[in-house]
């Protein structure tokens, strides 16, 4: 039960209150504003270079229809022509001379027409310029960036899960000297974003000899205070008897952690996994600072570098952007409910 229902139920048991209509209107506007731009990007990424330059832009990826006519080696562009007598015909253009176009009927190539260019409009058809996608994969370092991003995301997430769950286990199951100090250290780091310690982290990474290595991206963010917190809060709810029983069975502390606590913590681990994947896949500032060689770029850095170079080649840039957002979009489609409840419950990002 909520306010809307209560109020509308009182005033008008079956009909619609104006606020309901306003709410739906707002939500529909929201759909257009939130999904629209992404959809527009995806549609645009399938347009040919020529149709990307069109203004005003067409909604769907359209391209001019071409026909193969016997006697002509190249396919010829097809136009709808308004003839002198007012009839309309579909003609193929052979060449254009000034304001006149030399055209032929594809069905009857021997007959030629001279048509003023303002009397013809291109015949357009729906077509997907998939070369926008295949060409960057062949010509640019895009696959390299993709591989780097995948490596960083997977390895960093595994390390994060392991070391954060170990710390969370120690902080939730045991009482030991220095526990409070350790907790305080973890809390302390919550409020320190990489942005304000950019330079010294860079120094540490340099000292470790990791500049331009993907490990320089993976390691600094591996221990996340949010991760430790999330897992610790979850582990605190596990029944102690289980751990005591395992100890009686002479299980080592590691076995208790790895074989009993970890499997039971799976729901929290799953949430942290999703977050870690999101963080790592989207990370920008730190990789930008520490990766300077093109072959070590991650997708985000590569994409940013491309947008400087490829201003005039939007067709590649758009396609690469779509490829970059696809994995998160897929994660979202499959795990949407999980992600949203995870965030609502933890308030973290």
Partner 1 sequence: MTLTSKTSPATSPAPAASLAPSGGTNPVLKLVTRVLDWPMAGLQRLIGERRMPYVFLLPNLVFFGLFVFVPIAINFVYSVTGGPALFPSERPYVGAGQYSYLFDCGSYVDPNTCREDHFWRGVYNTLFFSFFQVVAMVGLSLLTAVVLNMKIRGRGFFRAVYFFPVLLSPVVVALIWKWILQRDGLLNAAIMGLGGDRTLFLAEPGWAMFWVIFVSVWAHMGFYTLILLAGLQAIPTDIYEAAEMDATPRWRVFWRLTLPLLWPNLIVVIVLSLIRAVQTFDEVFVLTGGGPGTSTLMVVQYIYETAFSNQVQNFGLAAAASVVLGIVLFALTLAQLAFTQRKSS
49-78 residues in contact with partner 1 (CB under 8 A) are 53, 55-57
Please give the residues from 199 up to 258 whose contact with partner 1 meets the rule CB under 8 A: 199-204, 206, 219-223, 228-230, 233-234, 237-239, 242-243, 245-246, 249, 251-255, 257-258
Q: What is the SS3 assignment for 168? A: helix
Residues in the chain: 349
Ranges within 287-346 binding partner 1 (CB under 8 A): 288-289, 300, 303-304, 307, 314, 317-318, 321, 324-325, 328-329, 331-332, 336-337, 339-340, 343-346
CA distances (Å), origin 96, targets 99, 107, 120: 7, 20, 12
Judged by beta carbon, residue 91 or residue 156, the one nearer partner 1 is 156
Other Cβ atoms closer than 10 A to 81:
21
198: nearest Cα among 298, 297, 280, 289? 289
Give the range of 73-81, 91-99, 115-123, 181-189 binding partner 1 by CB under 8 A. 181-189
Q: Which of 134, 143, 285, 294 binds partner 1 (CB under 8 A)?
A: 285
Contacts to partner 1 from residues 12-51, by CB under 8 A? 19-20, 23-24, 26-27, 30-31, 33-35, 37-38, 40-41, 44
Half-sphere exposure of residue 194: CA atoms within 13 angstroms, side-chain side: 20
For residue 128, which of 27, 44, 230 has the smallest C-alpha distance?
A: 44
Buried b (16+ CB within 10 A) or exposed e, 53-71: eeeeeeeebbbbbebebee
97 contacts partner 1 (rule: CB under 8 A): no
**Which listed range, 79-87, 97-105, 119-127, 166-174, lies at the site for partner 1 (CB under 8 A)?**
166-174
Smallest separation, CB 138 to partner 1 (Å): 21
189 interacts with partner 1 by CB under 8 A: yes
Burial 107-130 (b: 16+ CB within 10 A, else e): eeeeeebebeeeebeebeeebebe
214 vs 318, beta carbon nearer partner 1: 318
């Amino acid at each position: 039960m909520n306010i809307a229902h209560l109020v509308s139920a009182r005033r008008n048991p079956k009909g619609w209150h104006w606020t309901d209509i306003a709410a739906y209107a707002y939500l529909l506007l929201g759909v257009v504003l939130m999904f629209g731009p992404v959809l527009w990007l995806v549609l645009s990424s399938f347009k040919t270079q020529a149709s990307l330059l069109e203004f005003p832009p067409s909604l769907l990826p359209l391209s001019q229809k071409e026909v193969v006519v016997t006697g002509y080696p190249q396919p010829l562009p097809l136009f709808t022509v308004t003839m002198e007598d007012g009839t309309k015909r579909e003609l193929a253009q052979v060449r254009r001379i000034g304001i006149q176009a030399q055209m032929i009927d594809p069905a009857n190539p021997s007959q030629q027409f001279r048509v003023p260019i303002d009397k013809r409009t291109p015949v357009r058809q729906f077509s997907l310029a998939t070369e926008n996608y295949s060409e960057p994969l062949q010509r640019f370092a895009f696959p390299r960036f993709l591989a780097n991003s995948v490596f960083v995301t997977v390895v960093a997430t595994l390390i994060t899960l392991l070391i954060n769950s170990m710390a969370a286990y120690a902080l939730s199951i045991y009482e030991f000297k220095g526990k409070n100090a350790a907790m305080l250290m973890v809390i302390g780091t919550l409020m320190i974003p990489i942005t304000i310690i950019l330079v010294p982290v860079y120094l540490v990474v340099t000292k470790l000899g990791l500049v331009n290595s993907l490990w320089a991206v993976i390691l600094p963010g591996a221990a996340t205070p949010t991760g430790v917190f999330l897992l610790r809060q979850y582990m605190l709810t596990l029944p102690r008897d289980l751990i005591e029983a395992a100890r009686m069975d002479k299980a080592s502390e590691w076995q208790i952690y790895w074989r009993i606590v970890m499997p039971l913590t799976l729901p929290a681990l799953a949430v942290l996994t999703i977050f870690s994947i999101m963080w790592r896949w989207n990370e920008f500032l730190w990789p930008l600072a520490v990766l300077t060689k093109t072959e070590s770029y991650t997708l985000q850095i590569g994409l940013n570098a491309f947008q400087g170079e490829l201003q005039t080649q939007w067709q590649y840039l758009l396609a690469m952007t779509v490829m970059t957002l696809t994995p998160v979009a897929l994660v979202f489609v499959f795990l949407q409910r999980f992600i949203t409840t995870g965030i609502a419950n933890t308030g973290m990002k």
